[in-house]
Structure 1
Amino acid sequence: MYWWPTRHSCEVWSLCGACGSPSTIRSVSRRRRPSRLRCMKKRSSSGRCIIDHRVKNNLQIVSSLLSLQASYIQDAHIHEMFLERQSRVQSMTLIHEALFQSEDMGHIDFGEYVRALTRQLFQSYGIQAERITLQICAEAISLHINKAIPCGLILNELVSNALKHAFPAGRSGHLAIQLRANAGQRVSLIVRDNGIGIPAGLDFRSTESLGLQLVCMLADQLEGTLVLDREGGTTFTLTFAP
């Protein structure tokens, strides 16, 4: 409880000639409470910004270490494994960078994230724009970090798989990514390519590919559905509640 004395403008004279002014004491707790709440919110927001910034910096350090280690590896298969791990770390780094810049703490514009991550993957794999054309149609959909991280990792795996396997031997092609809001408060993330496609006899849910295993696990974590369409290439559709 906070109390504050308040003086009045009138004067009071006693019979003996002494002069004084009356005062009252009022509680100002209610006045102070909103300012205290604003201060607490400001400190909380500032603290979360610092945490996100530090997490982002730490992830960047991990990514740099993986890149440095990969540069010393001669075996092509092991080298690719290091690059895959680096891309997964970078996908999470982008989310924390978006959180640090976001006015709505805890949420990011996932449409902007889709564009940023895809551009980064094209650069990482050295894809020339004239060989594999890219089309992105992503709505501005706000996702909480608890949804954005698994969804971002799924996007990273699906785009990486398309860039590595859909267009072998320098084959040209097209990659399309769509993010849209559906009826019933559902969101769909669609990754489509017109490459050689996944073999008809391969069950992507029980494959030995670590990337697809991770995609299935994260889709379950999102309590979403993951559908594969093999017509005209490969199309993965992830649908979940934001």
Structure 2
Amino acid sequence: MTRALARRGWTVTGAASGAEGIALAGEGGFDLVAVDHYMPGLDGLETLSAINALPAPPPVVYVSGSDEGRIAVAALKAGAADYVVKAVGEDFFDLLAASFEQVLDRTRLERAKAEAEAELRASNARLEAMLSEVNHRVANSLQLVSAMIGLQKGVMTDAHAREALEDTQRRIRAIAQVHRRLYTANDVEQVDLRDYLGALVEELGESWSSDALPRTLTLTAEPIRVKTDRAVSIGVIVTELVTNACKYAYPGAAGEVRISVAQGDGHCLLAVEDDGCGMAADQKPQGTGLGAKLIRAMAQSLQTVVEYDPAHTGVRAVMRVPV
């Protein structure tokens, strides 16, 4: 066999037994190993198992004089790369050499694929680390902008101007909240809507509630993951709707604003409601109109619209967001 394979361009090292073959394979330097089923001492399957247990084992072509299917199945299940039935004549060596070529080609492809996948994973890890750092810096920058607006608000004497700056701060915080979650999360492409809105609603509650005019904001939400850009749009809409409710639903009195998010069939149902004075059917939302424009723009980016429930006592805004 050694001479026949040498004539076909192969350099062969022979082993008289399975144990000797295992020892040689353990020394390394072989592109592949051919294992006979019938050998003195360890049989082929035992030898195959021992070779595959080596660190970085070479591929194994299993050779047997038996054409029994059970042996072939057992060898392939044990990790053989190919199976060749031994025969008399040069055709067998041609078949064996062809098997060697196929196994080596397949092994090279598998190694190249594994290396490419490893490089891709490393590249993704680097990109995710960079994106996390970007989100960290964006969140810090937005926090700085919000603080600067707060300083500007502190020196403003016009009540309407102060109110406009406060609304701007809330919008900035809604966006910054997404970026804060992204740089502390493993997934930089999606946000858990329940966690995000929970933190956002808590901030809005602290912003709007006071001893003189307490506002109770409650969130009921299912765990739903959405892409980052969609989370930003949802956050801005929730901020505007909650702001409207806190401003106008309970004039001079305490009140509750409820936010809910439920999973539907291919969408999530978002609702913001209060039990306040409500709006007439033909009444436009109060304020400068900027909030309404933002709600429409953000809803359009989500391929949806915000609808108002005319049967609800107070105001109930509902939006179905495709997910």
> TM-score under structure 2 normalisation?
0.63
Structure 1: runs of 5 or more not aligned = 1-7, 11-21
Q: In structure 2, what residue type is equivalent to 1:217? A: A
Structure with greater helix share of residues: 2
**Count of matched residue pairs:** 221
Work out which of the residue numbers 253, 263, 274 in structure 2 matches 1:193: 274
Offset of residue 198 of structure 1: 2.0
What is the identity, as a one-letter code, of the residue corresponding to 2:301? Q
Q: Which residue in the other structure is 1:180 paired with?
A: 262
Residue matched to 2:128: 45
Q: Which amino acid aligns with 2:203?
A: Q
Contact 1:207 1:213 in 2 (8 A): no
Q: Counterpart of 1:218?
A: 298
> Within the alignment, does 1:105 sit opposite 2:184 as a pair?
no
Partner of 2:179: 96
Q: Is 2:151 aligned against 1:68?
A: yes
For residues 9 and 98 of structure 1, the distance between their equivalents in structure 2, rounded to whole angstroms, comes to 60
Deviations 1:99-148 (A, max 9, x none): 11222221111111111111101111234599433332111110101211
Structure 2: segments with no counterpart, 5+ residues: 1-11, 15-27, 32-103
Please name the residue that 2:72 is paired with. none
Q: CA deviation at 1:219?
A: 1.0
Deviation at 1:161, TM superposition (A): 0.9
- Deviation, 1:32, is 3.0
Query: Is the CA contact 2:306–2:318 (under 8 Å) kept in the aligned structure 1?
Result: yes
> Which amino acid in 2 is paired with 1:222?
L
Contact kept, 8 Å, 1:189 with 1:238, in 2: the verdict is yes
Q: Deviations over 1:40-79 (max 9, x none)?
A: 1211111111111111111111111111111110111100
Q: Which has the larger radius of gyration?
A: 2
Q: Which has the higher contact order (CA 8 A, sep 6+)?
A: 1
1:110-121 matches, cutoff 5 A: 110-121=193-204
Contact 1:125 1:163 in 2 (8 A): yes
Instruction: Give the number of the structure whose residues are more often strand, by fraction.
Output: 1
Amino acid at match of 2:258: A
**Percentage of identical aligned residues:** 27
What amino acid is aligned across from residue 157 of structure 2 in structure 1?
Q
Contact 1:179 / 1:187 at 8 angstroms: preserved in 2?
Answer: yes
Letter in 2 for 1:179: V
Alignment CA distance shift 1:51-1:180 (3 Å):
same
